[in-house]
Structures are given as structure tokens and as C-alpha cells.
Amino acid sequence: MADLAKANVTILSAYSSGGVNGKARKVIRAKFTSTTAGGTTNKLVASAFGLRVIERCSNIFLDAATKRMYPAVPAPDGTYITTYDPNQATDANRNIPADIATSTDSAYVSVEGYD
């Protein structure tokens, strides 16, 4: 696969947050589908959400039949989101970044950052 493409993302809602004198942050609630991404190879990149840097993100909820939740955090440089699968087979690999397959489901996430 590849990094999440902007074409696979639907912005459900967006607004700006921040002080008049400060830099305004964007808060976006988005849905993405038709991809396998979230690990360190196939990334959920900030640019797919229309951002340059992601400061915060929610966990990712996978809809449809699976109804699964994936813990998620922004990378240290803010250029992508890393996800984890608590259902990994062993304790040793539960903390390894994992891809989320959204070929038949939709994934929902809220992100906050700068464009």
C-alpha cells in the first residue's frame, strides 16, 4: 500500500481555534476509507487532512461490522499519525505501530494542527 491519500479522506467538520493574536489551529473531524495505513510504512499523513502538522488526534474508530477502536498518537514531528492494535497476538508486538485496513469500513478521527 502507500500513505493515506487526500482522495480517501472526507472532512466531516472543521473549524479554527486559537487566540486573535496567536496562530490559529485547525480542528478537523474526518472519515477515511479504501486504504490500509496507520503504521510506520503506510502513514496517515498530515497532508491528507489538509494540515502541515498534527499536534493532537483522537483514537480512531472503525465503523461497520467491526466496530473497533485503535489508539492513535501524532508522530513526534507531527507529520503523521501512528496507530496501535491492542488485539495483536502477543505482548511483545502490541506496542508496534499497526496498519488499519479500511477497504470495507470507514475510519473516523479528529485531528488538531496547523496548515
Q: Is residue 1 part of a domain?
A: no
Conformation bin of residue 64: beta by default, left when phi > 0, alpha when psi is -120 to 50:
left
* Domain with 86 in it: 6-114
The answer as to whether 22 is a domain residue is: yes
Q: Is 21 helix (H, G, I), strand (E, B) or coil?
A: coil
Q: What does the pLDDT profile of the chain (115 residues) look like in tens digits?
A: 688 889 989 999 999 887 667 678 899 999 998 888 877 788 899 999 999 999 999 999 988 677 788 899 999 999 999 888 777 767 777 677 877 877 778 899 999 999 8
Please state the domain count of the chain.
1
Q: Does residue 62 belong to any structural domain of this protein?
A: yes
C-alpha cell at 108: 473516523
Amino acid 54: pLDDT: 96
pLDDT value at residue 17 = 82
Measured between alpha carbons, how far is 112 from 109 in angstroms, rounded to an integer?
A: 10
CB-based contact 26:20 (threshold 8 Å): no
How many other C-beta atoms lie within 10 A of the C-beta of residue 78? 17
Written as one letter, the residue type at 56 is: R
- Residue 30 is assigned to a structural domain of this protein: yes
pLDDT given for residue 24 in this prediction: 81
